[in-house]
Amino acid sequence: MSHAKGDRVERELVNRLDGAGYAVMRAPASGAATERELPDVLAGNGDDFYAIEAKSSSGDPIYLTGEEVEALVFFARNFGAKPRIGVRFDREDWYFFHPGDCYVTDGGNYRVKKETALSDGIDFDELTGQSSRTQLDEYEP
């Protein structure tokens, strides 16, 4: 992902979270601005606090290094936030994953395919509590 596209999608996520009532900030240049690895976005609403690593793609799988994910989890744990990987594929909405729910490659990297995001990811409304998902096996008529 180019820096311009990365900046644009991070700003888009910040604006969406702000519109959903979250106090939100984008870490400038994330880990590049400091020796410490920082998540791309921090958001909280008094009940839920998230440290989010945001990635986007035109359709190819999204990869994160093991170091990126370890830094996200470390920061989130120390900050008191829930670590989330936020992915957005072109012409799709945002989908979110706990790092433990992502596929780990043999090389120790994390991968999210578009199909996986659409089928297994938590969508924006569910992340922000504006809707909830009912699984078919949980549905009682």
Report pLDDT for 31: 45
Query: pLDDT for 54-74, tens place per residue?
Result: 999 998 999 999 999 999 999
User: Dihedral sign, CA of 96, 114, 65, 57?
Assistant: negative
10 known member of a binding site: yes
User: What residue spans define the domains of the chain?
Assistant: 3-138
For 29, other C-beta atoms within 10 Å of its C-beta total 12
70 known member of a binding site: no
* Catalytic residue status for 57: no
Q: What is the C-alpha separation between 37 and 30, in angstroms, rounded?
A: 7
Report pLDDT for 101: 95
Q: What is the C-alpha separation between 76 and 100, in angstroms, rounded?
A: 13
Candidates 2, 30, 56, 57; catalytic one: 30
Q: Where are the alpha helices (DSSP H) in the chain?
A: 3-19, 66-79, 114-120, 124-127
Q: How many CA atoms lie within 13 A of 9 on its CB side?
A: 23
3-138: CATH topology is Trna Endonuclease; Chain: A, domain 1 (3.40.1350)
Q: What is the C-alpha separation between 16 and 30, in angstroms, rounded?
A: 19
CA distances from 12 to 45, 47, 107, 136 (A): 18, 22, 31, 32
pLDDT in tens, the chain (141 residues): 456 667 889 999 999 999 999 999 998 654 454 566 889 999 999 999 999 999 999 989 999 999 999 999 999 999 999 999 999 999 999 999 999 999 999 999 999 999 999 999 999 999 998 876 555 555 555
